[in-house]
Structure 1
C-alpha cells in the first residue's frame, strides 16, 4: 500500500506524464532462467517491452519505492544497464543501500530462498501427479474437494453448464 501511495506522488513531482507498470505480487522474482515458462520477471512481456523502451530513451525516470520493487535479483543490473543506455534516471522514494556487498548478500539469500520454494513446489506437484491427484488452479466453475485432492463442481458450475447448453443449442 505504501508504494501505491508514495510512488505516484513522487512521479507526479518529477514528470508531466506518468505511465504505470504494476506487475502485482506474482512476478516479483526473476531467476533469470530463460527456458522456464513460469512467467518470471525477465520473461514477462510487459517487462521486456519496458526494458526495450528504457534502452531507447523513452522515459526520463524509472521510479520505485526501493530497488527491491524493481527487481529482487541480478536482473536489476539488466534494468539499470538499460536505463543507463537510454539516459533514464532511476529514482527511489524510499531508502536504498547501494553498497555492493549488502546488495549481493541480500540478493543471493533471496534468490536461494526463492529457488528452494520453486523446487519444493515442483516436488509437491510431482507427488500429486504420482498419487493421481489434480494439481494447479481449478478450472472455471470448479473447486477442490475437502481433502484438496480432486477438482469438483464449485459455486459457478451452473454457469459452466449453462454455457455448454447455450453452445449446443445453436
Structure 2
C-alpha cells in the first residue's frame, strides 16, 4: 500500500533541527529477528545455537517537496543537511566519529523509540523551477538500527554466565 504522508526525521546527537519529507512509496522494515546458527557436530546432527540478533533496517522512499502554488523555494539546503547527517562518521580528520543518530516519526511502521543511523541515500528524480533551483528531490533513505555499545563484550559475558 502506498502512502503519501509526512515523515519527520529528527537528529539526536548532536542535537539538530528536524526535517519533514513526504513518504512516496512503501516503506520496508527488515531484520531484527533470527540470529540462530547451525553448528555441525561430528557423526551427529548439527545443533542450533544463538549467536546474535541482527540489527533492523528500515528503507523509506521519500521526497523533499518545496512546491506550493505561487511560492517555490529550493530544497538544496535540506539536501545538504541530510548528506551531513549521513556522513557524520567520515570526517576529514581520519578519526572515527560516531554517526548522527536519528529518530523517525509520522506515518511510519517502526517504534518511535528506535535510534537509527543513516546508512544509505539513493537519489532519484528531481524537479527544478524556472530559475534552475531544485524544488523537489526524491531519495530512498536506508536506516540501520543503532544499539548502545556495552562495556562488557560477548565473550566475557558468556564466561561469566558459564561461571568459568
Q: TM-score range by the shorter chain?
A: under 0.3
TM-score, normalized by length of structure 1?
Answer: 0.26
Task: Tell me which of the two structures has the higher relative contact order, counting C-alpha pairs closer than 8 angstroms and 6 or more residues apart.
Answer: 2
TM-score, normalized by length of structure 2?
Answer: 0.27
